[in-house]
Amino acid sequence: MRKNFLLLSAFGFAGLLQAQISNIDFRENKEFHRAQFLYQEQSYLASQHTFEKYLQKENIATDEEEIAAYFAALTSLINNQDGGQARLMSFQATYPRSSLSQQGTWHLGSYYLSKGDYDKAFDYLSRGNLSDLPAYQQDEFRFKLGYVNFMKDRKNQALNYLKPLTRHAVYGEDAKYYVGHIYYSQRKYDLAQPYFEELQQRNPVFRQRLLPYMVQIKFNDGNYSEAIRLGKEQLAANQEAYLTSEISKIVGESYFHQGQYDQSIPYLEAYTGEMSAADYYQLGYAYYQQKNYEKAISLFNKIVAGEDAMAQIAYYQLGNAYLKTNRKEQALAAFQSAGKMDFDAALQEDAYYHYAKLSYDVGNPYESTPVTLQKYLTQYPSGAHRKEIQNLLVDAYITSGDYRQAVEMLKSIQNKNAEQNKTFQLANYLYATTLYKNGKLNEAKNYFTTARQISADDVVTARAEFWLGEIAYRQGKYGEALNFFKGLENFPKDFNERKELSYQLGYTHYKLKNFPQSEKYFKTYLATNPPREFKADARMRLADSYVGNRNNEQAVAVYEEVEKSNNQMADEAAYSRAIVLGLTKGSAARAQALENFIKAYPVSKFNDQAQLELADTYVDLEQINSANLVLDNLIKHTNADFAAEAHLRKGFIFYIQGQTKEALRQFEKVTEKKPGTKQAIQAIENAKRIYLNNSDYKGFERWVSRFDYYQIDVSEIQTLALDNALKSFDANNYPAAIAALGNLLKDYPQLQKNDQVNYALGESYYQTNQWDAALKPLNAAAAINGNYQSDALLRLAQIYLNKNQITEAKLSLEALYNNTSNLAYQSFAEIHLMRIYAKENNTKATELAQKVLTNSKNETSVREEAELILARELYHNGQKADAEKSYKALENASSTAVRAEALYYKALLLNERKSFEASNQVIFELASKYADQQLWGSQALVVMADNYYQQGDLYQANHTIESILENYKDFPEVSKKAKVLQQKIKAKKK
């Protein structure tokens, strides 16, 4: 219980100087009588003058001279004349045995006491000894000593003098008052009360004067009813503002302690003094009990700087008041503050429970909801709300996309019930999908397998089985993939991936060269009227299946249909049609179709290959000149890969024509343009055949000695070793390949410059997750402009991306993008370069994003990333209306990071339009759904703090800023923005 203390002033003290000279015998001297009279009338100047005049007479009697000298000196001091104290001291030195010397000291003390000069009064009164005074004067000066000690705050000394006088006939009442007052000021109310009560009973004057003290004493004794009764009596009689304020406060607190909150409010409101935290709390709580929550909130909000038990209670009640007004976001901050304080452990636990539960209900912008819930479980492992919080935590993990934590949380629960098993299965499935999207196929496979084995929900089991098939397919395990997909054909329920099942079965059978089945399933898929981009692809693969089944005419018909549909696959369809026409209608038809294709699709990625095919077809038709014209055109206008192929074909034409010198020149050009490549080796082998046919062994030896990548003295053992090493590699036996290739390079170091060997070794290391070891051979292969350069660059890029070595990854990706003719590789480079450029704020990101969007085969999540980059560009270029539309479309993106960023910009744009409440609601939605996205969550908090600041809610603004600075130290740019806003808040408070 808080103890109030009301301190009032003491009685004044007057009339205490009574000069005792009546007992002095002045004989019959009239002048002495006159001086005495003037002294008694306190006409001290006239009295002094009379005594001074008398002393000027001659032949004065010794005793009369002593008396006159004493009073002349005494009145001089009383008149505050210079040298007065010296005269009195001179008198005491001249008459050391005079009784007047001691009496003068007492008289001076009484004089200064009457004037209120307590220091001087104490000095003179303390010099003497009471026993030296006549008996009738001892009680008088004892009282004076008590009083002067009281006024100098020497209370224990004052008690020593005053307590013996409390029954005195003259000084008793005053002594009781001062003794009671001393005990009261020392808060010894049980000792003060008897004195005050006796005075009130005996003297009406004291009743009113002591009434405030009695109100205070009754309150501090816990006698609230009596404190209220006496307080009201005092208020009715009192006119003094200070007393009215203090007594009102005591009455109000008395009602508060009795639980009569409605009665307490007017008295607590009447207090005009400086309000303490406890005062704000009591008044706020009283309003809270009256359901005046807005008033309660305004009062609780005044207690914002405390770090004590009262502040903890106030924050807790503030949270309750916010809940009563359905302001859960503000309640969150209040309960967080109460939960951080440990003055009351039970209250702290309950506050933290509310904080954790509200984090789940409305989101937590200060820290992620899962972290908040986990902290509760850690801090209160046996808490009353443990099971409830566990369930909320699992749901929060899943909602925020932190599926791994959901899996771990549920894994730790023994004896899961049916609902928990379903959630456990779903969490495993969702985490597996995340791993799959990130390219971690083996890890994804483990979690999909777990989800499939739990079997709590048939649909989730089916979906897990589908993706296990997809992983097997991507890993080239087509038989295993087929088993998974086939197992789902008769599944009785619908599931999201069912519409893709026949598509996947078609591809899997196609990869297994089971063309009748691939034809069947692609037809089944096309009957479902799939999306346009997938429909075109499925029709192309159907046509390919026809080719595999030797139904070439049907294949040609489908290729023609795809070409006419004028979609992105039209050129591929036209090219494939031209090739198949050669199988059905002969070389002439193929040549005509290829000529038409080359003219119709001059920039197609198949154009160069079509020209090679056309040249080959002309050779078949024995149109050698036409073949040479096509090949010459390729050599002039295409890249090194196709130019080398063209030279090889020209060399072959010259060879079959018997023009061996011209053939050798063509093969030599291949070695110049593509040294160390398969094409160069083929050219050397072709040249070798010519030299050997001509029995020109030395000539071949001299010619080939220029090529350090071709060894003419390679022994049969070396050849067998190379074949064996590559045999292990070709069989996907990567550990064996690593050992074999390592031994090969050790035995034949000249092969260290062979791109095929280096690529095979690097790829083997990659497949066994030995990334660091893979780098050296892959870099060696990538440095050679050969057949394995693109494959090596792709693997290097993947390794550097996985190791988060962005600079190296970018260099590899740029080299891959600029050198490869493989469309899949180009697409891979486009996607990842787009991401890297976006982080660098490089304008190339926008260019690549547009290319990514034009590729319909890109996954949805990748296309969303591209749309996100374009949305950012719109925002930063000031095209905010267009940016808002783009971000709105991304709020339902498949990626949580994309959805989180979209909501951040939605909140930011609402802030810029001064829609502060709506902006905060979006931020709480972001915090609730995407707690793991800390970058966007922390930046959104800065926007929230600004929203509160703009609304004038400095407490919530400052609380939000402090949370940012405490919880997001890993984001310096965010902290910097928060500190700038914090300075604005501090300036506004001033």
Distance CA 110, CA 107 (A): 5
Mean of pLDDT values over 412-436: 89
How far is it, in rounded angstroms, from Cα 294 to Cα 433? 48
Under a CB-based contact definition with an 8 Å cutoff, are residues 804 and 696 in contact? no
Does 158 have pLDDT greater than 70?
A: yes
The percent of residues in the chain predicted with pLDDT above 70, rounded, is 94
Q: Which of 973, 888, 893, 879 is nearest to 930 (CA)?
A: 893
Q: Is 746 exposed, middle or buried (0-12, 13-18, 19+ CB in 10 A)?
A: exposed
Element (H, E) at 925: helix 916-929
pLDDT at 10: 45
- Core vs surface per residue 62-81: b (16+ CB within 10 A) or e: eebebbbbbbbbbbbbbeee
Over the stretch 21-41, which tens digit does the pLDDT of each residue have? 444 444 456 777 788 788 888
Closest CA to 328 of 362, 304, 302, 357: 362
Strand, helix or coil at 381?
Answer: coil
Query: Left (φ > 0), alpha (ψ -120 to 50) or beta: where does 732 sit?
Result: left
- Compute CA distances 610 → 569, 593, 613, whole Å: 15, 10, 5
> Are the CB atoms for 617 and 625 separated by under 8 Å?
no
Pick from 551, 466, 559: nearest CA to 516: 551
What b/e string do you get for 670-693 counting C-beta neighbours within 10 Å, with b at 16 or more? bbebbbbbebbbbbbebbbebbee
| pLDDT for 331 beyond 80 | yes
Confidence band of 301 (pLDDT split at 50, 70, 90)? confident
Read off the pLDDT of residues 816-836 as tens digits, 9 standing for 90 and up: 888 888 888 888 888 888 889
47 contact partners, CB below 8 Å, separation of at least 6: 35, 38, 39, 71, 75
- Map out the domains of the chain as residue ranges: 26-128, 733-932
Ramachandran bin of 83, using left for φ above 0, alpha for ψ from -120 to 50, beta for the remaining angles: left
In the predicted model, is pLDDT for residue 942 greater than 90? Answer: yes
Q: What does the pLDDT read at residue 873?
A: 86
State yes or no: pLDDT of 701 exceeds 80.
no
- Looking at this protein, which amino acid is placed at residue 413? I
**Architecture of domain 26-128 in CATH?**
Alpha Horseshoe (1.25)
How far is residue 78's CA from residue 64's CA, in Å, rounded to a whole number? 21
Q: Give me the DSSP letters along 112-179.
A: HHHTT-HHHHHHHHTTS-GGGS-HHHHHHHHHHHHHHHHHTT-HHHHHHHHGGGTT-TTTHHHHHHHH
Report d(CA 444, CA 476) in Å as an integer: 16
Q: Average pLDDT for residues 38-67, to the nearest whole number?
A: 84
Phi/psi of residue 112, nearest 5 degrees = -65, -30
Q: What is the CATH number of domain 733-932?
A: 1.25.40.10
As a whole number, mean pLDDT of residues 927-938 equals 85
The chain-wide mean pLDDT, for the chain, equals 85
Regarding pTM above 0.95, the answer is no
Residues 494-510, mean pLDDT to the nearest whole number = 91
Tokens read off for 952: 């004038």
For residue 42, what pLDDT is reported?
82
> What is the pLDDT at residue 713?
55
Can you give the pLDDT at residue 724?
Answer: 64
585: pLDDT strictly greater than 60 = yes
SS3 call for 513 = coil
pLDDT of residue 224 exceeding 60, the answer is yes
Same fold, 26-128 and 733-932: yes
The pair of three-digit structure tokens given for residue 173, joined into one six-digit string = 């009442």
Indicate whether 8 pLDDT > 50: no
- Alpha carbons 151 and 140: distance in angstroms, whole number: 17
* 3-state DSSP assignment of residue 302: coil
**168, 181, 319, 608 from 151: Cα distances, Å:** 21, 12, 49, 114
**Pair of tokens at residue 760:** 């095979």
Look at the block and give the residue holding tokens 């604005």: 984
Distance in angstroms (rounded) separating the CA atoms of residues 90 and 503: 129
pLDDT exceeds 80 at position 215: no
